[in-house]
Amino acid sequence: MKNRHRLEHDLNFLTSPQAAGRLSGTAGAHRTAHYLKAELDSLGFDSALQPVGVPAARLTSTPRLIVGTQTFSPRRDFAELTALSAGGFVNSQLLVVREDDLLRPEDFKGKVFLILVRPQGFNLAETVNAAVELGAAALLVEHGEPQWFHKTVYSGKGKIPVLRVRTSIAEELAHINGAQVELDLPLDRATRPCNNVLGLLRNDSDFTFALTAHYDHLGDDSENVRFSGAFDNASGVAAILQTARELAKEKLPFNLLVAFLTGEESGLWGAKQLITHPPVPISAIINLDGIGSEPKLNALRLGHRGRGDPLAELGESVLLKRGIQAQWVSGSDDSSAFISKGIPTLGLGQQPTGQARSVMHTPLDSLELLHLETIHQGVEVLVEIARSISEIQKEKNHVYAK
């Protein structure tokens, strides 16, 4: 198979029903890890699965919300808010909470609160705490009119079920204050055994250059509601793998470590594990999170700018030479975990704008929206940065040597 076609093959697998949205700790993520490991093996890398415990929240079945006689549709009409919510089953009365209502504390006890309007300066975490103190059984919060509600898998210490609800539905519910609510949020919060996929190509050097990308995503809701995570981050994984294929053919003056990371979506757990337990000391890292959202690679996020960091300067010069705008935006992706440990890191990715931004963490982030040509351009950039590092290494006046 031609190299370009390999990348398409990888993207097809990563976004397939077999990978099932690649949620950390699921069979889909496990299959993905083995697929990536086999690819690294075939390229001559010394590969291994690195165990990582990933705390995350996960739906074990489809959530239900019935108010009065109406049944609402998960992800479309309402969605779980994993970071602030507990799972649970609630059968109680609806209580619409308005700012100017005169309610006694006993009016709240055991009810399902509905926040109909979020006032200016609304703080969700504080509101959840207040609802818990008042003895709420669950909390519903109006949250706009998205096509799909964003999915999250962050796990928090919430004590009651908390749901976001479509504004138009919240307004309907306001007319049936006091109606019976049946709410089932099968949310399981646990630390699960997961794996980073590591591949090392040793070249008898004390310099190790790492290419990383997270392979986990949010997991399918059901067969019909798939979260294929094409941009986030099948694109980055496929581009890094393709870059590894190109570089494996060359005699490199450094060790090359490729790491496909788990647990990014619930808190950068794979990145933290890699950086505290690297197979060899890591000298510099390029992380790629999200590429292919636009038809052309006009701009690329380089991440946090480390003052005088030669890797950052190098990355910027490669982009500028190709007419690609360098954006200095620090993300909340895995690169921030590496930077916080002081490792020279480029956090590459395309900044999704407009339509591309609203598809993030929804079923709309699918393969059909990806621009393959842009991903191929990204691979060229990665290969060129790696080769430039090679040149610096060869000239022996490299700035990275310890």
Q: Which range of residues in 3-11, 35-43, 230-238, 308-316 is near Zn ion by CB under 5 A? A: 230-238
* Cβ-based neighbours of 270, under 8 Å, separated by 6 or more: 52, 54, 194, 196, 214, 216, 259, 261, 262, 263, 264, 334
What would the x/- binding string for Zn ion be over residues 135 to 174, using CB under 5 A?
Answer: ----------------------------------------
Take residue 244 and report the two structure tokens written for it.
């590894």
Taking the C-alpha atoms of residue 228 and residue 251, their distance in angstroms, rounded to an integer, is: 36
Query: Minimum distance from CB of 381 to Zn ion (Å)?
Result: 22
Interatomic CA distance for residues 357 and 354, integer angstroms:
5
* 232 binding Zn ion? (CB under 5 A): yes
Decide if residue 333 touches Zn ion (CB under 5 A): no
# of chain residues touching Zn ion (CB under 5 A): 1
- Binding range to Zn ion, per CB under 5 A, among 167-175, 225-233, 308-316, 318-326: 225-233
The DSSP bridge partners found for residue 94 are 112
Q: How far is the CB of 129 from Zn ion (least distance, A)?
A: 27
Measured from the CB atom, the residue of 24 and 47 that comes closer to Zn ion is: 24
Q: Tally DSSP H helices, then E strands, for the chain.
A: 11, 16
The Cα 348–Cα 212 span in angstroms is 10
Shortest distance in whole angstroms from residue 232 CB to Zn ion: 4
Nearer to Zn ion, 20 or 94 (CB): 20
- Looking at the Cβ atoms of 266 and 393, the one nearer to Zn ion is 266
How far out from the chain centre does Cα 400 lie?
Answer: 30
Q: Which of 219, 320, 300 is nearest to 265 (CA)?
A: 219
Q: From the CB of 268, what's the least distance to Zn ion, in Å?
A: 11
- What's the min distance (Å) between Cβ of 309 and Zn ion? 25
Query: Residue 96 forms beta bridges with which residues?
Result: 114
Angle at 305 between CA 283 and CA 275, to 5 degrees: 35
The 8-class DSSP code of residue 23 comes to B
CA–CA dist 126, 128 (Å, integer):
5
Q: Which residues within the stretch 265-294 sit at the binding site for Zn ion (CB under 5 A)?
A: none
Minimum gap (Å) between residue 149 Cβ and Zn ion: 15
Residue closest to Zn ion, measured at CB: 232
Cβ at position 391, least distance to Zn ion in Å:
34
Q: Which residue has the tokens 């009119």?
A: 145
Q: Which is nearer to Zn ion, 10 or 232 (CB)?
A: 232
- Least CB distance to Zn ion at residue 326 (A): 23
Within 10 Å of residue 398's Cβ, how many Cβ atoms? 17
Q: Using alpha carbons, select from 104, 346, 40, 75 the residue that is nearest to residue 219.
A: 75
Stretch that binds Zn ion, among 87-95, 152-160, 172-180, 229-237 (CB under 5 A): 229-237
Closer Cβ to Zn ion, 88 or 331, answer by number: 331
Q: DSSP E strands: which ranges in 98-165? A: 112-115, 138-142, 162-165
* Listed ranges 27-35, 179-187, 200-208, 232-240: which one lies at the site for Zn ion (CB under 5 A): 232-240
Stretch that binds Zn ion, among 11-19, 58-66, 86-94, 231-239 (CB under 5 A): 231-239
Non-local (6+) Cβ contacts of 266 within 8 A are 24, 54, 55, 56, 57, 153, 154, 155
Q: Is 220 or 232 the residue whose CB approaches Zn ion more closely? A: 232
Closer residue to Zn ion (CB): 221 or 232: 232
CB burial of 80-93 (b: ≥16 within 10 Å; e: otherwise) equals bbbbbbbbbebebe
Q: Is 216 in the site for Zn ion (CB under 5 A)?
A: no
> Smallest distance, Å, CB 360 to Zn ion?
7
Which residue lies nearer to Zn ion by CB, 211 or 268?
268
Query: Closer to Zn ion at the Cβ: 142 or 232?
Result: 232
- Per CB under 5 A, residues contacting Zn ion are 232
